[in-house]
């Protein structure tokens, strides 16, 4: 007599189906996803609340040397204006990572 397989709706975070190591593995994977999605959400929040230039900084195209010079100048100015945003996100990421561990 073979045992019945677990249904696909089984929560592998809380149900011991293949030992405690498997449960710990799935809990770690879940925590890793939550960590990454939280950091992404906070970064996108900064981008939409502070400046959408954070999304395009360093990605603007230039078709001539003169336009390239203007793009580089604009990018450097925006980078210096928005450096506090990157530092704030980095501080949040550090605190969130250490507190989550």
Helices and strands, number each (H, E), in the chain: 4, 0
Q: What is the pLDDT of residues 24-36, one digit of tens each?
A: 999 999 999 999 9
What pLDDT does 67 receive?
94
Task: Enumerate residues 6+ apart whose C-beta is below 8 A from 32.
Answer: none
Task: Look at the block and give the residue holding tokens 């990157």.
Answer: 86
What pTM was estimated for this model as a whole?
Answer: 0.83
CB 37 within 8 Å of CB 66:
no
Q: Give the Cα separation of 101 and 97 in Å (integer).
A: 6
Residue 15 CA to residue 30 CA, distance in Å, equals: 14
């Amino acid at each position: 007599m073979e045992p019945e397989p677990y249904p696909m709706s089984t929560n592998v975070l809380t149900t011991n189906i293949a030992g405690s190591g498997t449960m710990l593995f799935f809990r770690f994977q879940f925590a890793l996803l939550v960590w990454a999605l939280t950091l992404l959400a906070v970064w996108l929040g900064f981008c939409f609340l502070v400046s959408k230039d954070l999304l395009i900084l360093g990605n603007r195209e230039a078709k001539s040397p003169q336009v390239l010079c203007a793009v580089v100048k604009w990018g450097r100015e925006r980078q210096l204006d928005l450096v506090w945003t990157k530092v704030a996100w980095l501080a949040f990421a550090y605190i969130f990572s250490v507190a989550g561990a």
